[in-house]
């Protein structure tokens, strides 16, 4: 294998385990989510340093509305506080924010905060940080199909892809899930069709730079064939295939 690491262009992460992290420390679940924001900040900085171009994280799913009301309201307040605190530094670090998900049903304060964060970082180029908030993979496919049907445009793989919330970036090369669960939970169902999957037992607040490097190393050791044979990949890119 080449001595230089193979770094994914686009990493996507299901940030699981905040609540369990807090419970194990006899803390309220929201304390775990606050710690999770710190972990995301650390991860985004590490991605910039390692040459990752796109980081996509699952922050709040369509199904998370079913959680206890106090936890949901706390998460909304945490998002507002995180935007106010983190956006200036993200802007300085060259990170461009995109929020992907259904905004109908969110408070006007949250919607305005999301829009302002996107505008404030719109010209940054070092890392695209997609935050999937009030998002679900099935929702994304359904809303894209509905938009195409409403416009009268034929529904094809290409047109459907272009109508989705992640059309501005390439599909993820590597999807990571923390917290020990081995499922994707309605995350990037369309976009992750050929992504490499990596599952970590670490709870999200404990997922540090070393854990990220372990995931990237696992990715670098895999052969991505996209339906082709190993021989075809080897003949096309002899220096890039692990041996």
Catalytic residues: 16, 64
Nearest to 211 by CA among 49, 93, 52, 46: 46
CA distances from 38 to 6, 209, 228 (A): 26, 12, 40
190, exposed or middle or buried, with CB in 10 Å at 0-12, 13-18, 19+?
A: middle
- Per-residue burial over 14-27, b if 16 or more Cβ lie within 10 Å, else e, is bbbbbbbbbeeeee
Q: Rounded to an integer, what distance in angstroms lies between the CA atom of residue 10 and that of residue 174?
A: 7
Q: Rounded to an integer, what distance in angstroms lies between the CA atom of residue 142 and that of residue 140?
A: 5
Task: Say which residues have a Cβ less than 8 Å from residue 178's Cβ, sequence separation at least 6.
Answer: 13, 14, 15, 16, 17, 200, 202, 203, 204, 207, 211
Structure-token match 């900040």, residue found: 41
């Amino acid at each position: 294998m080449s001595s230089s690491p193979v770094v994914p262009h686009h990493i996507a992460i299901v940030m699981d385990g905040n609540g369990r992290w807090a419970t194990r420390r006899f803390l309220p679940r929201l304390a775990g989510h606050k710690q999770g924001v710190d972990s995301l900040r650390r991860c985004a900085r590490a991605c910039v340093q390692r040459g990752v171009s796109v980081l996509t994280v699952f922050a709040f799913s369509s199904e998370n509305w079913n959680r206890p009301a106090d936890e949901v309201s706390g998460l909304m307040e945490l998002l507002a506080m995180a935007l106010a605190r983190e956006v200036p530094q993200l802007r300085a670090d060259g990170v461009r924010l995109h929020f992907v998900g259904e905004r109908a049903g969110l408070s006007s304060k949250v919607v305005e905060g999301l829009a302002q964060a996107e505008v404030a970082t719109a010209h940054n180029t070092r890392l695209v940080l997609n935050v999937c908030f009030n998002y679900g993979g099935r929702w994304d496919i359904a809303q894209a199909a509905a938009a195409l049907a409403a416009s009268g445009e034929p529904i094809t793989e290409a047109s459907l892809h272009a109508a989705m919330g992640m059309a501005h970036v390439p599909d993820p090369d590597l999807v990571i899930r923390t917290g020990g669960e081995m499922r994707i939970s309605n995350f990037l169902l369309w976009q992750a069709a050929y992504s490499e999957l990596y599952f970590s037992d670490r709870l999200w607040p404990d997922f540090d730079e070393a854990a990220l490097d372990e995931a990237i190393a696992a990715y670098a050791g895999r052969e991505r064939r996209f339906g082709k044979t190993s021989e075809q990949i080897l003949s096309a890119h002899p220096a890039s295939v692990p041996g």
